[in-house]
Structure 1
């Protein structure tokens, strides 16, 4: 299809401004360039839970550009004035209304985490952050209702021309859940341009800093900042000469704000833990440049085979850290196993004791840390924006759009 004029990107969660939103933003920027800016892209949002997309404080394209260093020109936010569903019937009606909106577009890209919305555009692409499992009826489900949900699952899957998974981990679970009938390609999320990666690691800028980056929230794949602060505070004899900096956006959600408050309360028991809420992009980059070590614990305390959706499905922040020579010490779960080569470009761990011990090795052996930092920076090139654009370009051409 040569005449693509309108593209819909479904992502009601853009206000979280996390790694997924960075991924989505660069996809939009790729599409603007790919279509020579002769295209209109709508990021479609709607109310959910306590989120009011019509509030004055709701995120804007300018916020997205500023947060991720983008220059979106042909992309705007389209707000659907739908009532927030209160029961299962309204949920199904709400879902159908969103699906009907997709029919207005030439291309529909479903970027909503664990969505089951069908695509009705001319070409439909499912950007799979992590797949929602197929419907399994409980005993109390009526036979007719169960039939309807199973049929919707089948129609949902078959409505897409392809799935684009953000990691081999995600692809594996998508195929476990849904099968292999619809093509499923892995396109890793974008991190930095290659020319930026080359100069990011500067050993002379390094300070005794451990950094973690991720949204402060409790739902789904929580970043487990509270647990990491506990690690750091509990083992002060090892970390007394280091600072721990936690960077992340926080949304106006009561549970998330309460979670952040607990983290701050624990952090306040020592003088070397620092919290950076809604940190500007440039400030984050400066912290990465100074940090020697990067911590990541998403999935800690969760059984991967039981709740795979609570793992880190890829981990953009890990690559951001690696490109800056901040050696990753990350949990041995989910997509982290693909990006960090244990003992080469960093360390993976399964327990608190392993995390602390491997971090201690890096603190005490500066030559080991420097060697891993150099190898991490080289490894980060595998996840460049250029490679992201190249793989998307190949996929769009394959789909004739």
Structure 2
């Protein structure tokens, strides 16, 4: 089978890119031919290494979805494909592939096309996939459809608990200050402030470790965070390699996540965590997740069973101290979190994709 893969954001290497590149790995395991539509100067194997994927055999080809191709050229060339998988930026591209899958990872509340136009376009797609029921609810309303949920793949077998240290970890992309009109999606500054208050209140020997990807245009934002964190036991590192990332997960005792805090999620659902891949990775590594109670995180965690929810910085601090002081509770939640993480394995993702092909 000849398969085409497209993401307009491929070089950002975020959760959506992990999703569709893992799908590319699935097709390669089936001995299918895989083309990735991309024109920029990028190294596919570097991308694969970032996510711990085996993409040998896949290749970049001219991007049919760029302005270099007319609508009719795209249709003609797409006809050669048995299946095309698209990561949507909100638009619904038309292709003449025998089968079309589209992944809508953001709970878009608005579309630049009338609902009836989107519904007609989506009739050409065999599968409309969302990364959570949180996302699905908004997508179905916006586009007037009934989508399916295929949870993002997490290679939980690659993450193992290690010797636990007094480390609180958070993993999330470092965005530039101008991103989304000064909206900071991962709330790094809020977590730094919460941790500094814990230290000022007497917490000793613990450190906060913040890891995430960033690009040159985001460097000033990263440096600003480092300045805020000066004189406190806070480590901030960007673009760490996959093995170092796994080591940090293995060492962490507690995992923090703050996306969605302080936002009106009824008005801006896109500002919540749409699913929570790094939360699952932390759980697979035996860290207890302490995460903001919003978005797709509520589909991963059962409060006080395999993690803890918080809604205010005070709750984040209180529940973190509770774990630090009660090691029996920490071990209990970590064990349950590890079990729960397996529900989001890459193997389950592969089986679900296989079912969709039938």
User: Normalization by structure 2: what TM-score?
Assistant: 0.90
Matches within 5 A, 1:47-126: 53-54=40-41, 59-80=42-63, 102-126=78-102
Matched residue SS, 2:216: coil
Deviation at 1:95, TM superposition (A): 8.0
1:214 paired to 2:208 = no
Partner of residue 250 from structure 1, selected from 211, 214, 226? 214
Matched residue SS, 2:221: helix
Deviation at 1:133, TM superposition (A): 3.4
Match of 1:45 in 2: 38
Partner of residue 273 from structure 2, selected from 312, 316, 327? 312
Partner of residue 225 from structure 2, selected from 259, 263, 268? 263
Match of 2:4 in 1: 8
**Cα contact 1:99–1:120 (8 A) shared by 2:** yes
Matches within 5 A, 1:2-401: 4-5=1-2, 7-34=3-30, 37=31, 39-45=32-38, 53-54=40-41, 59-80=42-63, 102-135=78-111, 152-180=117-145, 184-194=147-157, 196=158, 200-202=160-162, 205-218=163-176, 219=179, 222-236=185-199, 237-253=201-217, 256-270=218-232, 272-397=233-358
Inter-CA distance 121–188: structure 2 relative to 1 (3 Å threshold): same
Tell me, which stretches of 5 or more residues in structure 2 are unaligned?
A: none
Tell me, which stretches of 5 or more residues in structure 1 are unaligned?
A: 47-52, 86-92, 137-147
Inter-CA distance 103–317: structure 2 relative to 1 (3 Å threshold): same
| 1:54-98 residue CA offsets vs partner (Å, 9 max, x unmatched) | 4xxxx311112211211112212235499889xxxxxxx988876
**Cα contact 2:111–2:142 (8 A) shared by 1:** no
Deviation at 1:104, TM superposition (A): 4.5
Matched residue SS, 1:188: coil
Inter-CA distance 156–262: structure 2 relative to 1 (3 Å threshold): farther
Deviation at 1:240, TM superposition (A): 3.3
Q: What is the CA–CA distance in structure 1 between the aligned matches of 2:189 and 2:53, rounded to whole Å?
A: 31
| 1:314-338 residue CA offsets vs partner (Å, 9 max, x unmatched) | 1110000001111000010100001
**Cα contact 1:119–1:156 (8 A) shared by 2:** no
Q: Which moved more, 1:217-226 or 1:122-131?
A: 217-226
The count of residues paired between Structure 1 and Structure 2 equals 352
**Cα contact 2:161–2:251 (8 A) shared by 1:** no
Matched residue SS, 1:265: helix
RMSD: 2.6
**Cα contact 2:64–2:74 (8 A) shared by 1:** no
Q: What is the CA–CA distance in structure 2 between the aligned matches of 1:358 and 1:95, rounded to whole Å?
A: 54
Matched residue SS, 1:241: coil
Inter-CA distance 381–287: structure 2 relative to 1 (3 Å threshold): same
Q: What is the CA–CA distance in structure 1 between the aligned matches of 2:9 and 2:122, rounded to whole Å?
A: 22
**Cα contact 1:232–1:239 (8 A) shared by 2:** no
Inter-CA distance 294–248: structure 2 relative to 1 (3 Å threshold): same
Q: What is the CA–CA distance in structure 2 between the aligned matches of 1:99 and 1:337, rounded to whole Å?
A: 40
Inter-CA distance 234–77: structure 2 relative to 1 (3 Å threshold): farther
Inter-CA distance 95–293: structure 2 relative to 1 (3 Å threshold): farther
